[in-house]
Structure 1
Amino acid sequence: MTADQTGPVVGTPHGAVRGRYEQGVAVFRGIPYGAPPFGPRRFRPPAPPEPWEGVRDAGAFGPTAPKPPYSEAFAHYLSDPEIPGDDCLNLNVWTPEPGPGARLPVLLWLHGGALTRGSSAMPVYDGGSFARDGVVCVSVNYRLGVEGYGLFPDAPANPGLRDQLAALRWVHESIAAFGGDPDRITLGGQSAGAISVGALLAAPQSQGLVRRAVLQSGAPEASDRDKVRRVVRRMAARLRIPATAEAFAAVDRDLLLSAQAEVGRFSSPVLGGPAFGIVVDGDLVPRDPLAALRSGEAAADVNLLMGWTRDEYRLWLVPGGLLERVDRLGPVALAGAMARCHAGHEVPRGYRLLRPDAGAAEIVGQMVTDHLLRLPLHRLADARPGTSHLYEFAWPSNLPGLGACHALELGFVFDTGDVPESRLLAGEGAPQELSDALHGAWVRFATTGDPGWEPWDATHPVRVFGTAPPHTTPGPRDADLSLWTTPHPTSPVRGAGNGASNPEQPAHAHGGKAP
């Protein structure tokens, strides 16, 4: 259909939808891929949506999954719109050419938020620039927090991850009608979204559905089941109910979110604590995803683009003044980081030798970042040379203290630096040429599998996107990561539980501050 006041109409397996043309791109918002996950469907795997007759309007974002708001300190930097309604298993499509003949590459985006916050409605995630550049972009809402990742004796594990799998299947079956190529799907995510990408890549049910994958600021991992159970048990104790899905399903949604927020105050990526995470369930996640991907038994033919930011930890520590408090704690903070990372004294000692002028917060932050992100991504790339590309985002925010922090790169990835929500992290005057470079690399990768620099090999090439023009540097993090090559005697095998606290869990947990 040509552009007119009625907008483009596309058929899906459950009914036709009518979108909008915006700046030459066809946009379809709020398309259901699953039935509302409430009532008898609460804490259960997703069910298909009920078919509809006629043409469903897809002009507005659909409801977001239930989630607590950010604390005031974090809301200063991060937006998280809330749209009420039960029909929260929905997705959005941006396409330059709706219709079955285009066969364009597809980017399926999974948002971050520690598996407790975030949504596809965040303005930073607008997919119009990808569609403008020839890539069909799809973004997804999925269940969060206890609704999506609570672990109960009477319900299947990982319902939020099962939502994401249902969305991936919907895209594979339906995206051709929107101009996409189901054989060229790139699955991408940031932070908890990247952790989800890793789990989906390793899932037996997704094999053959994904051509390429992007993991930004998150590595494949499995959380400790007992740790996730403790979150549920603490919520149950606060609510004075049994720790069962049946009991939780009878609780008012707002009351459940309040209990979740209270329990979540005591979690952070820096020092750990109770947190929701993806767990090995013997079905969708039959074993640790990182081990499955490194062994080559899963997604062996999927090309990988993996990245991190130079100062990930600054988003975890700057809001609320935690960075200064960690610096004041000094040796106590370093001891906590050693416990968090299962590291011996030689690790922080090595970081100190490499950074003689750094404060305790920088040492702690870089240790945790390497433990959670850079080391597992390096190891995954080592197991898949020639088909992996790595990069570092190193441009510092124009706001004081943030540096090149966690999530800062997203406005550059989506080329949405002009929206107010991007400026919450970047400040004013973010360089458009850097957006062109990083967004262009993602477009090239989704289109061809080559983002524009050499793939991983023994020289460890890393593309650096910072204040200087983008350039490739051999092994910029090798000196830090070599400190971890000799495991400490108490170190568990990665994936057996040391990654339960997601890199995006806000650090407002400390000091008793409410989220």
Structure 2
Amino acid sequence: MTTASCASGDVTGAELPTGILEFLGIPFAAPPVGKLRFEPPVPHSPWPEPWDATKYGPTAPQPQGEGPMNEILPNRIAPGDEYLNLNVWTPTLDGAAPVMVFIHGGGFSTGSGSVSVYNGERFARDGVVLVTINYRLGPDGFLWVGDGVANLGLLDQIAALEWVRDNIAAFGGDPQQVTLFGESAGAMSVVSLMAMPRAQGLFHRAIAESGAGVSVISPRSAKKVAARLAALLGIRPTRSAISALPVDRVLAGASTVGEELTKRPFTTLWGEAGRNLMAFEPVVDGDILPGIPEDLIAAGAGHDIDLLIGTNSDEANLFFVPSGAVDRMPSIIASVFAWLYGARRPGTVRRYRRNRPGVSAGTLAAAILTDGFYRIPALRLAGLHPHAHVYEFAWKSGAFDGRLGACHAMELPFVFDTLDDPEAAAMLGGPAPQELATRMHAAWVRFAKTGDPGWPPFTAEQRTSMRFDVTSHLTEDERADERALWPSSRRKARIRA
């Protein structure tokens, strides 16, 4: 057992057999329940006795995932009010090591910082204090009906970063050397925080894995989602009416909204939420999030923050292969995805098909969705930032007879160097190269320590990227013919507060 002192009181963690110190389930804000349910996070009241930080705490309320995709994506759900908590792994309580704070993904509706694949022991082994966090999800974190405070989930993330600023020195970390990183919705959060005035100065480097600066919605779109949720719940679309209902009932309604949006993702019905395929996500409210993150970064926000950003080669396979949908897609879907995400030049689908001879209509559509939703926005953001580095993760899983490929979230056990975690086995689909995990994990550590992951920066003129695979190597404007089919700037469909 080992004890550290926080602003709210002492916390007692464990010393692992490797000598790494582990502190789990430390509250960074008061429980967001009762009168605090739809309010910004507030400090936790002091605890008189040492807090038991030897086991993971509760997780944010969320639906229990079902279906083939959820069977291969690890998650942990645990009930309890004290779910605004975080976990810390550190090599020692002394000194001032670089700090890395991880924001989990899950479409802003699922996930937790206590998934075992995110175990931070290997980061601590390599001289980094690693922190993982929880934040409010779904309606409780991102509902917007026009009253109260928007983006509570983002404010929770800021509260966790403020906790790091004020307390991490007691865990051997340097609050002036913080790298914020995240995957999927976590990466979208990272980029949003780069652009948010309230997060300024709380972190100094950023890593965005499979998420960039356009996955936000307007208040108009958010109100469309809220109105549909309220209709399903049989109440008026007000924050007070929704907050009066049990969390489980609201979650059930939110799941139905998500299913309806996925089946009919029309912007006429949902606004930008239809294009983003997420019912609850950050809202451009003009205050907490003053604009679209990509636009704000283009105008200079976050330029003092070192950036590492990248995507996986086959992101969209996760959404289509496990369910078998990849084999049922009509050929028109590829054109729909190309049009929806901005590649509207004649011949776009023909070019993608020519570069992938013999693939099915579903595989072709997945390739176009991967680029339109993930790869192109990431490259565009990197080109707008004065000191960005870019990567692509290309190792192909053996799962589903190799058809899963380098899908969404596949890089995570490599980044955390947790290939040996049983929870990662289903996604990896068999043996995975430890040499690749060692190399990728080392690049993340190096970036956190120096701002340089080990390869040249990316610019709009020299599009250098590191391709991580069994044999990793640098590329220069890879698949330039396909990149050129997409607009060089975001489609100017305005999102205003």
Scaled to the shorter chain, the TM-score interval is: over 0.9
Distance 1:370 1:449, change over 3 A: same
| Letter paired with 2:43 | P
The aligned residue for residue 391 of structure 1 is: 391
The aligned residue for residue 38 of structure 1 is: 33
Please say if residues 463 and 473 of structure 1, whose CA atoms lie closer than 8 Å, have aligned partners that are also in contact: yes
| Amino-acid identity (%) | 42
**1:257 maps onto 2:255 in alignment:** no
Distance 1:267 1:439, change over 3 A: farther
The aligned residue for residue 375 of structure 2 is: 374
Match of 2:420 among 418, 421, 443: 418
Task: Please tell me the root mean square deviation across aligned C-alpha atoms, in Å.
Answer: 1.8
Residues in 2 aligned to 1:373 and 1:495: alpha-carbon distance in whole angstroms = 20
Q: CA deviation at 1:10?
A: 0.8
Residues in 2 aligned to 1:275 and 1:77: alpha-carbon distance in whole angstroms = 23
SS in 1 for 2:492: coil
Please say if residues 148 and 158 of structure 1, whose CA atoms lie closer than 8 Å, have aligned partners that are also in contact: yes
Residues in 2 aligned to 1:456 and 1:206: alpha-carbon distance in whole angstroms = 25
- What does 1:477-488 align with in structure 2 at a 5 Å threshold? 477-485=479-487
Match of 2:314 among 311, 315, 320: 311
Q: CA deviation at 1:355?
A: 3.1
| Letter paired with 1:493 | K
Residues in 2 aligned to 1:405 and 1:268: alpha-carbon distance in whole angstroms = 19
The aligned residue for residue 496 of structure 1 is: 495
The aligned residue for residue 344 of structure 1 is: 344
- What does 1:56-71 align with in structure 2 at a 5 Å threshold? 56-71=51-66
Deviation string for 1:466-505 (max 9, x for gaps)? 122x111111132211101378xxx8426739xxxxxxxx
Name the structure, 1 or 2, with higher relative contact order (CA <8 Å, separation 6+). 1
**1:467 maps onto 2:470 in alignment:** yes
- What does 1:247-286 align with in structure 2 at a 5 Å threshold? 247-268=241-262, 272=274, 273=277, 275-286=279-290
The aligned residue for residue 216 of structure 1 is: 209
Please say if residues 109 and 140 of structure 1, whose CA atoms lie closer than 8 Å, have aligned partners that are also in contact: yes
Moved more, 69-78 or 436-445: 69-78
Match of 2:236 among 239, 242, 249: 242
The aligned residue for residue 98 of structure 1 is: 93
Q: CA deviation at 1:44?
A: 1.0
Residues in 1 aligned to 2:263 and 2:343: alpha-carbon distance in whole angstroms = 15
TM superposition score normalised by structure 2: 0.93
**1:299 maps onto 2:299 in alignment:** no
Distance 1:283 1:8, change over 3 A: same
Q: CA deviation at 1:357?
A: 3.1
Please say if residues 106 and 186 of structure 1, whose CA atoms lie closer than 8 Å, have aligned partners that are also in contact: yes
SS in 2 for 1:92: strand
The aligned residue for residue 112 of structure 1 is: 105
Please say if residues 263 and 274 of structure 1, whose CA atoms lie closer than 8 Å, have aligned partners that are also in contact: no
The aligned residue for residue 131 of structure 1 is: 124
Residues in 1 aligned to 2:36 and 2:146: alpha-carbon distance in whole angstroms = 16
Distance 1:269 1:161, change over 3 A: farther
Residues in 1 aligned to 2:15 and 2:222: alpha-carbon distance in whole angstroms = 43
The aligned residue for residue 162 of structure 1 is: 155
Distance 1:378 1:274, change over 3 A: closer
SS in 2 for 1:105: strand
Q: CA deviation at 1:339?
A: 4.4
Residues in 2 aligned to 1:234 and 1:24: alpha-carbon distance in whole angstroms = 52
Match of 2:46 among 45, 48, 51: 51
The aligned residue for residue 177 of structure 2 is: 184
| Letter paired with 1:307 | G
SS in 2 for 1:319: coil
Q: CA deviation at 1:279?
A: 1.1
| Letter paired with 1:169 | E
| Letter paired with 2:404 | L
Residues in 1 aligned to 2:477 and 2:152: alpha-carbon distance in whole angstroms = 38
Please say if residues 342 and 372 of structure 2, whose CA atoms lie closer than 8 Å, have aligned partners that are also in contact: no
The aligned residue for residue 271 of structure 2 is: none
Residues in 1 aligned to 2:319 and 2:142: alpha-carbon distance in whole angstroms = 22
Q: CA deviation at 1:258?
A: 1.1
| Letter paired with 1:397 | S
Q: CA deviation at 1:229?
A: 2.1
Please say if residues 313 and 370 of structure 2, whose CA atoms lie closer than 8 Å, have aligned partners that are also in contact: no
**1:456 maps onto 2:455 in alignment:** no
**1:322 maps onto 2:316 in alignment:** no
Aligned residues: 480
Please say if residues 100 and 181 of structure 2, whose CA atoms lie closer than 8 Å, have aligned partners that are also in contact: yes
SS in 1 for 2:213: coil
SS in 1 for 2:245: coil
| Letter paired with 1:309 | N
Residues in 2 aligned to 1:461 and 1:310: alpha-carbon distance in whole angstroms = 16
Residues in 2 aligned to 1:403 and 1:41: alpha-carbon distance in whole angstroms = 43
Distance 1:303 1:179, change over 3 A: same
| Letter paired with 1:399 | A
| Letter paired with 1:378 | L
Residues in 2 aligned to 1:203 and 1:124: alpha-carbon distance in whole angstroms = 29
SS in 1 for 2:467: strand
| Letter paired with 1:357 | G
The aligned residue for residue 77 of structure 1 is: 72
Unpaired stretches in structure 1, ≥5 consecutive residues = 1-6, 498-515
Moved more, 425-434 or 179-188: 425-434
Please say if residues 213 and 303 of structure 1, whose CA atoms lie closer than 8 Å, have aligned partners that are also in contact: yes
**1:175 maps onto 2:168 in alignment:** yes
Deviation string for 1:422-481 (max 9, x for gaps)? 11210221111111011111010001111111111322111011122x111111132211
Residues in 2 aligned to 1:494 and 1:263: alpha-carbon distance in whole angstroms = 24
SS in 2 for 1:106: strand
Distance 1:139 1:370, change over 3 A: same
The aligned residue for residue 145 of structure 1 is: 138
**1:87 maps onto 2:90 in alignment:** no
**1:203 maps onto 2:205 in alignment:** no
Q: CA deviation at 1:262?
A: 1.4
| Letter paired with 1:348 | V
Q: CA deviation at 1:267?
A: 3.7
The aligned residue for residue 288 of structure 1 is: 292
Distance 1:158 1:495, change over 3 A: farther
Residues in 1 aligned to 2:151 and 2:250: alpha-carbon distance in whole angstroms = 18
